[in-house]
Amino acid sequence: MDVIAKKQALSGRIRVPGSKSHTIRALILATLAEGRSYIHNPLPSADCLSTATAVPLIGAEVDLDINTEGVCGSTWVVDGAGAGIHLPSDVINVGNSGSLLYFLTPVAATFDGWSVFTGDESIRSRPVDHVVDVIRQMGAEAYITQPGSTGCPMIVRGPITKAKKIVTPGSVSSQYISGLMLAALRMTEPMEIELTNPKETPYLTMTKWWLESVGAKVSISDDFKHISVSAPKEVKAFERTVPSDWEAVAFPLIAALLGDSEVVIENIDGSGIQGDDAIVEILQSVGADIEWDKENETLTVRGGKKARDGIGRLSTEKLPEGTLRVAMSDFPDAICALAVIACFIDGKTVLEDAAVCRRKETDRIAVLKKQLTLLGADVEEGEDYLIIHGHAPVHSDGTVNDLFALHGGIVESYGDHRIAMSLACLGLGLPEQEQLIIRNAECCSVSFPHFFDEMNKTGANYKER
């Protein structure tokens, strides 16, 4: 599906879906638990549905409350496998979900026999050699099946009931570390993990929160280099409401700042568990008109002439050295949204400490450099950074800025949901008469089902081609 985006002013309210990260953790923990768990406000995205399809292979029963039109309900019920959890009854195909792959493979090391993992083309290109290493450190067997490859298919053989101390960088991804922490629930002794270069640390805090909610004892040092997890005697079933997804909030948020818009984003998670909420303070530092009402769980975002100063110009001029610097290691999934909005910020933006972004659904650093440059942006690429020299569409007095040079064109999503959504938002801020065509935009369903429909309710006027 190709989608056409043009300049639009947005208004109204939009509700973002539940968190993908929380939903997948909830499904796996409910599978490990004894009894029936209730998960409210889950995200019915492709990755979460892949998880809901995978966990029955190891003993869970999942009811997605699907109606006659094939739409999932707002509460999912999981009858956990508990002590009856077993070797997968079939190959586990994780689809496009790196979270599912990295979470479940360490758990598979506790099963007696071989577990086989694969996924779509994107997943099969993502590295798993670091996972193989930690699973072997646990005392189990793990192999990549294709000679010379670093990706799936991957096979894992247990069983192990206790693990040796595990030492690993933690810089490739936090997801496999969360997988180790989940696997600790199957251990007879505490699991000790040493990270030499921890990244994406808010996600480790999220996993800690979930594990503690089911009775595990978890300690994480202040520098995130030392993690210890002790399993409870029994993981009991639970009832939880999945909070909203800050990774999804980023897209209507930046879209509202690109035109004469006023949008209220509902169902905002104020718990602080998701690191991506840092985007609010980052954008406020360059002048974005954003109000966060934590009591009512809303963000009110005003852009362009709808901003309280009547101009809505974004600029780095009040920042040190006139530069917006953002370390991406704690919330790397925000790089797509931030790179796009940076094209509309007057001044220099440096998105750094971002090497992990090269190992997502795509090499996001390379893809963003290529696609934004095609549209007239001034972008520099380094091994672990992007530098964007942006120009606001207007000067501080509201007059047109002739240096603003973004234009329309045809761009590729490369099957990456966050690339697709960020470029779709960029199209809303283009000059009049310009249009942007985003190819293969259906991949948005991986994390934000019905993204275009929901955005159109605020006046985005996206159209399929």
Closest CA to 260 of 394, 409, 120, 67: 394
Buried b / exposed e along 169-206 (16+ C-beta atoms within 10 A): ebbbbbbbbbbbbbbbbbbeebbbbebeebbbbbbbbb
DSSP 399: -
Buried b / exposed e along 66-80 (16+ C-beta atoms within 10 A): eeeeeebeeebbbbb
Alpha carbon of residue 278 to chain centroid? 14
Instruction: Clarify whether 333 is annotated catalytic.
Output: yes
Q: Which of 333, 346, 353, 416 is catalytic?
A: 333
Alpha carbon of residue 187 to chain centroid? 29
Tokens matching residue 336: 């797509």
Number of H helices, E strands in the chain: 13, 25
Instruction: Report yes or no: 434 and 426 within 8 Å, Cβ to Cβ.
Output: no
Closest CA to 426 of 257, 246, 303: 257
Handedness of CA 100, 105, 110, 114 (dihedral sign): positive
Q: Per the omega criterion (within 30 degrees of 0), is the bond before 393 cis?
A: no
Q: Which positions are annotated as active-site residues?
A: 333
